[in-house]
A and B are shown apart, each in its own frame.
Chain A
Amino acid sequence: MATTTRKRCGRTGVSDDPQHVPRARDGRAPDVFRHGGWVPMRCYGENDEVDFAIVGTGAGGGTLACRLAEAGFSVVALDAGPYWRPLEDFASDEHEQTKLYWTDERIVDGENPLQLGSNNSGKSVGGSTVHFAMVSLRFRPEWFKARSKLGYGADWPLDWREMWDYYTEVEQALKISGPVRYPWGPKRPRYPYRPHELNAAALVLAQGAEAMGIDWTPTPLATVSAPRGLSPPCVYRGFCTLGCSTNAKQSVLITWLPRALAAGAEIRDLAMVGRVEVNEAGLATGVHYHREGAWHFQRARNVVVAGYAIETPRLLLNSATARYPDGLANSSGLVGKNLMAQSNQAVWGLMEDEIRAYKGPPSLSMTEHWNYQDRGKDFFGGYCYMSQGPLPALWATTQAGAHGLWGDALMRDMEKYNHQVGLKIVGEMLPQKRNRVTLADEKDQYGLPIARVTYSWCDNDKRLIEHSLRFMTQALEAVDARDIWRQEDDTCHLNGTARMGDDPRTSVVNADCRSWDISNLWICDGSVFPTVGGVNPSLTIQAIACRTADRIRALAARGEL
């Protein structure tokens, strides 16, 4: 059977069914750069006690898998999602591509329930980066000490100068295309690739910013503006948040993971981890995972949980034992708490000229002005705002949701689609204990309790949103946009729920992403953020993963693993 499949896939390029049959097995994994292609993959037996079993292969897990394998550790990385070959599996169809989202059942509540799925979680080898928007920004240095320097949230146990070097490493690894000179913050090395050309929507942002007297910049993006290896330069078709079918996008799937495989890591697709096993001594011994209709157990000397800010706490809570009745790594009681989305409000308007905002990556220009400017704010934290390029189905949904348009009215409104412009923020939301992930009584298809996600905005969140909407409205008015309206309810990204810190009582992991309670259990993804800042998180997640790998290597060298 395996041989037949190999023949079929290898010779004719006819696709198998990656959503139902694992591809990474029998010593080979899909070659993400070739139709029907394969690359060799080292495989471990379930009884092999590997150095690291990593749950999740996204920005955190995928990066860490690569760096650990390159450091010589034996690694098995498991992901619940399929192993795509973008060239053959991604269609230019908004509905087809919903297959990239994590749409398993979850319950949402709170005063401002989150809308989960497309805009915040992915289920693929490569994680959410397979359909992320590629915006690759560094934190403002002060945010790493938000509590002591800016008076809100919590301090990170990390030093920004050290992070600056890891940011550089990630920017190089992803060949970020960014501006020659970045207008804000301390000096940073030149981006490896040059910025992309702006589309008309991005130019509107630029004109608005200039009219408002603030700086703007072409956005640093993880899609290449010139060839790189087997990645062609971006073709500006704008399907980025539905999966890039050209491989211009430098997702984890096509950057860190091929490196991980080459360094000897094994990646298991369609492998849903249901439980982390701990022994009587209180140490993790491996993971139980569901693959091909059955439960399996992979032994490991260390377990890393990197399932993103909902699945990570869910797995830790689902792995409770008699010794750890509140879930693993939860002596602080903080697992699942301090969930932070980011505000994602927008102001939309119509331009006289044709804009065709869907052309190119959705956020080609941006401003971080309100991240770095503290005067004139009545809130803590910051936000950036970016140009937008919603595709037609998303735009129709937005219109239907925001204005209740339907039928003929919606059709007529869609005729203005090519003149639409928008500015959208990524705004900081403050950590609150009441925003949290807990377990519901309901079970999912694997028989595991599903996550209940509770979310409410605090007054500070609301003030930030109001400030941003006011400012962006002025910016659109300044360029003579008409029919301006505010989209007030959106959020994006998920962070927190297993924060890092210096104190076991007030954090779940230390600066090395090692849990305080179980010394061979690590958490390495967006969950470890104590605060979120006003920029998209993936560059920081990857930088933390690189740092964690270096720390693990150093600890191993000292016999402290």
Chain B
Amino acid sequence: MRLRSRRSVQHFANPLAALDRQAGDPLLTARLDRGSAVRAAQRLNRAAGTLAIAVLFDSAMEHYRGSFHNRAMYTPLVSASLSLLASAHGTADPRSGAHKLRDGIYAFAGLAGIAGTAFHVYNIGKRPGGFSWLNLFYSAPIGAPMALSLSGMLGFLSERVRDNPPGPPPLIFGLPAGRVTAAMTSAGLLGTVGEAGLLHFRGAYHDPAMFLPVSVPPLAAALLAESAVGRSRVRRRFTTWWLRFTALLGFAGVGFHSLGVARNMGGWRNWSQNLLNGPPLPAPPSFTGLALAGLAALGLMEDHPDE
């Protein structure tokens, strides 16, 4: 599938070929367009799903740790599960056109994330010391709920991309879908870097590997931001590879964090405590989800140059 999309990129990147295309069979072109839009949407579904998995497990563990003392603490579990289901459905769905239920679920995730952020901010502010480092370190993590919003937003974008008529490059709110997705993903990456940076600062960067998530993804974010505003008719090999590397790093992060769990008293033998005390295993794949979204954005821009 990736091969096909690359071929089509070459095809459209060549102005002569584009002329060819205009002169060719309009029906076939429409199908091709639709196909690539759906593929891009599916990739965004996959990205949204990856983020949803991260949020589901992360919030389950953290809120379990907090004994679910407030019923609202179940919300991210429900929302992320739904988002995960919707994403699986979307990934397998070859049809074009937005899906109402998926749309609803994604919108809910977006809103739940925002509400969660508000809750967390309120929680931090009411503690002695207010918005101090101490409370940022140990109160409800300020950035975590935004991962749910991001999952929702990526899903929502995916539905918008799917919903585009054949022909002109897919648009979201009147803007080229690829650029919008790239910009949003870039911002999402930066936010996630902020969260990882804060928590790794809390861990005093005691292991040099802890610098990876605050150095690799920021460059990915910068490259994506450049793609969002830069020319669309160029192939961005380096950006593509860097995003793939970021995606991999997200997975590798789970490995690093499992080493971190082992360094707590009792190590993995004492997993029931250390999974909660150690670095969160499900957190790093957020980077994978966002990097996948970035790749989808690049794909969109390459398939549908807007200049």
A48 an interface residue at 8 Å Cβ cutoff? no
Considering the complex of A and B, which 10 residue pairs feature the smallest CB-CB distances, nearest first?
A206-B128, A227-B263, A232-B265, A180-B133, A197-B138, A226-B203, A193-B204, A226-B206, A246-B265, A194-B202
B137 an interface residue at 8 Å Cβ cutoff? yes
> Nearest residue in B to A87 (C-beta to C-beta)?
B265
Query: Contacts A203-B128, A227-B263 given: A179-B204 contact, CB under 8 Å?
Result: no
- Pairwise interchain contact A233-B264, C-beta atoms closer than 8 A: yes
Contact with A along B250-281 (1 / 0, CB 8 A): 00000000001001111000000100010000
Chain A CB within 10 Å, residue with most, of B202, B265, B266: B265
8 Å CB contacts to B: which residues of A206-226? 206-207, 210, 216, 218, 225-226
Query: Contacts A206-B128, A210-B128, A228-B206 given: A194-B201 contact, CB under 8 Å?
Result: yes
Q: Which of A194, A227, A233 contacts B137 (CB 8 A)?
A: A194
A195 an interface residue at 8 Å Cβ cutoff? yes
- Pairwise interchain contact A194-B204, C-beta atoms closer than 8 A: yes
- Pairwise interchain contact A181-B264, C-beta atoms closer than 8 A: no
**Can you list 7 residue pairs at the A/B interface with Cβ under 8 Å?**
A192-B204, A197-B137, A203-B128, A210-B128, A232-B263, A233-B264, A246-B265
A448 an interface residue at 8 Å Cβ cutoff? no
Residues of A within 8 A of B265 (CB): 232-233, 235, 246, 248
Residues of A within 8 A of B137 (CB): 194-195, 197
A198 an interface residue at 8 Å Cβ cutoff? yes
> Nearest residue in A to B128 (C-beta to C-beta)?
A206
Q: How far is the CA of A246 from the CA of B274 in the complex (A)?
A: 14
- Pairwise interchain contact B134-A232, C-beta atoms closer than 8 A: no
> Nearest residue in B to A181 (C-beta to C-beta)?
B133
Contact with B along A177-192 (1 / 0, CB 8 A): 0011100000000001
Q: Which of A198, A206, A216, A227 contacts B264 (CB 8 A)?
A: A227
Q: How far is the CA of A192 from the CA of B206 in the complex (A)?
A: 9
Residues of B within 8 A of A194 (CB): 133, 137, 201-204
Q: How far is the CA of A216 from the CA of B265 in the complex (A)?
A: 30
Question: Chain B contact residues: over half helix, strand or loop, or mixed?
Answer: loop
Residues of A within 8 A of B138 (CB): 197-198
Contact with B along A17-28 (1 / 0, CB 8 A): 000000000000
B129 an interface residue at 8 Å Cβ cutoff? yes
Number of B residues, CB within 8 Å of A: 20
Query: Contacts A195-B134, A235-B265 given: A225-B204 contact, CB under 8 Å?
Result: yes
> Nearest residue in A to B205 (C-beta to C-beta)?
A226
How distant is B259 from chain A, measured CB to nearest CB, in Å? 10
Q: How far is the CA of A198 from the CA of B135 in the complex (A)?
A: 9
- Pairwise interchain contact A218-B264, C-beta atoms closer than 8 A: no
> Nearest residue in B to A230 (C-beta to C-beta)?
B263
- Pairwise interchain contact A206-B206, C-beta atoms closer than 8 A: no
Residues of A within 8 A of B207 (CB): 227
Contact with A along B199-242 (1 / 0, CB 8 A): 00111101100000000000000000000000000000000000
Residues of B within 8 A of A197 (CB): 134, 137-138
How distant is B120 from chain A, measured CB to nearest CB, in Å? 16
Q: How far is the CA of A218 from the CA of B135 in the complex (A)?
A: 11
Q: How far is the CA of A291 from the CA of B191 in the complex (A)?
A: 62
Q: How far is the CA of A194 from the CA of B201 in the complex (A)?
A: 8
Residues of B within 8 A of A228 (CB): 206
How distant is A8 from chain B, measured CB to nearest CB, in Å? 24
Chain A CB within 10 Å, residue with most, of B129, B133, B137, B273: B129
- Pairwise interchain contact A232-B264, C-beta atoms closer than 8 A: yes
Residues of B within 8 A of A195 (CB): 133-134, 137
> Nearest residue in A to B259 (C-beta to C-beta)?
A227
Contacts A203-B128, A228-B206, A235-B264 given; 12 further ones with Cβ under 8 A?
Answer: A180-B133, A195-B133, A197-B134, A197-B137, A216-B128, A218-B134, A226-B204, A227-B206, A227-B207, A232-B266, A233-B263, A233-B265
How distant is A401 from chain B, measured CB to nearest CB, in Å? 32
Residues of A within 8 A of B134 (CB): 179-180, 195, 197-198, 218
Q: How far is the CA of A195 from the CA of B204 in the complex (A)?
A: 10
- Pairwise interchain contact A227-B128, C-beta atoms closer than 8 A: no
How distant is B124 from chain A, measured CB to nearest CB, in Å? 13
How distant is A245 from chain B, measured CB to nearest CB, in Å? 9
Q: How far is the CA of A235 from the CA of B267 in the complex (A)?
A: 12
How distant is A26 from chain B, measured CB to nearest CB, in Å? 31
Q: Which of A179, A193, A203, A210 contacts B133 (CB 8 A)?
A: A179
Q: Which of B129, B202, B260 contacts A227 (CB 8 A)?
A: B260
> Nearest residue in A to B274 (C-beta to C-beta)?
A232
Q: How far is the CA of A198 from the CA of B273 in the complex (A)?
A: 19
How distant is A96 from chain B, measured CB to nearest CB, in Å? 20
How distant is B96 from chain A, measured CB to nearest CB, in Å? 50
Residues of A within 8 A of B129 (CB): 206
Residues of B within 8 A of A175 (CB): 204
How distant is A33 from chain B, measured CB to nearest CB, in Å? 12
Q: How far is the CA of A218 from the CA of B136 in the complex (A)?
A: 13
How distant is A250 from chain B, measured CB to nearest CB, in Å? 13
How distant is A557 from chain B, measured CB to nearest CB, in Å? 36
Residues of B within 8 A of A232 (CB): 263-266
> Nearest residue in A to B264 (C-beta to C-beta)?
A232
8 Å CB contacts to A: which residues of B113-156? 127-129, 133-134, 137-138
> Nearest residue in A to B273 (C-beta to C-beta)?
A235
> Nearest residue in B to A190 (C-beta to C-beta)?
B204
Q: How far is the CA of A192 from the CA of B205 in the complex (A)?
A: 10
How distant is A298 from chain B, measured CB to nearest CB, in Å? 38
Q: How far is the CA of A192 from the CA of B203 in the complex (A)?
A: 10
Q: How far is the CA of A194 from the CA of B127 in the complex (A)?
A: 18
Residues of B within 8 A of A206 (CB): 128-129
8 Å CB contacts to B: which residues of A129-158? none
